[in-house]
Amino acid sequence: MLTQPRALLLALIAIGAVSLSPLAVSHFDDKEINQSYRQSWFALVASNFGPMASTVKGEIPWDQARMERWSSDLAALTSLDVTRGFAAGSDKGTTRAKPEIWENEADFGSKLDDMTSAVAQLQKTVATGDREAIAEQVGATGKTCKACHDEYKAKNYLY
C-alpha cells in the first residue's frame, strides 16, 4: 500500500512524464529520422548550455544546484553518439547542416570530440563551485560549439 506522500509523488512524476513527452519528440519526423535525431540532440544541448551561459553573464540568478544539473545533463548528452544522425544521405531535407560535414567528416568528428572534452571539463569545473573558473570554462566550451557552427551550420534556415 502506498503512503499518501508517496502516492502524490508518483502522481506528480506521471503527470510530468506525460506533459513532457511531446517535447521529447517535438523534432521527430518519421520521414527524416536522422535529421530529427540530431536536431533533437542539439535542442537539448542548447536547452542546457544556454542557461549556463546566461547565468555566467548575470542574466539568470546563480544557482549552483542548477548549474550542476545542467552540466551533468550536458555530459550525458555528449555521451550519446550524435554522429549517427549524420548518416549518408541525411544532408538533404529539413536541415541546417551544411554539406561540408559529409565532405570533412574527420574534422567534424574532431570538433565534436573537442566539445565532448570541454563539456567533461565543464562538469568538473562546475562541481568546484568556483564561479570565475566556471565562467571561463563556459566560455571555452562555447568556443568549441562555435567552431562547428562557423563551418558546418547554415546561418538562416527555420530558426
Would you list the domain boundaries of the chain? 31-152
- Name the amino acid, one letter, at 10: L
CATH superfamily of 31-152: Cytochrome c/b562 (1.20.120.10)
pLDDT at 27 exceeding the cut of 80? no
Closest to 52 in 3D by CA, of 81, 72, 76, 82: 72
Average pLDDT over residues 12-16: 65
> pLDDT tens digits, residue range 80-91?
999 999 999 898
Do the beta carbons of residue 70 and residue 44 sit within 8 Å? no
SS (H, E, C) 12-77: HHHHHHHHHHHHHCCCCCCCCHHHHHHHHHHHHHHHHHHHHHHHHCCCCCCCHHHHHHHHHHHHHH
> With bands split at pLDDT 50, 70 and 90, how would you rate the model's confidence at 22?
low
Among 7-11, 75-79, 145-149, name the most confident range.
75-79
> pLDDT tens digits, residue range 31-67?
689 999 999 999 999 999 999 999 999 999 999 999 9
Q: Can you give the pLDDT at residue 19?
A: 58
Between 12 and 71, residue with greater pLDDT = 71
> With bands split at pLDDT 50, 70 and 90, how would you rate the model's confidence at 8?
low
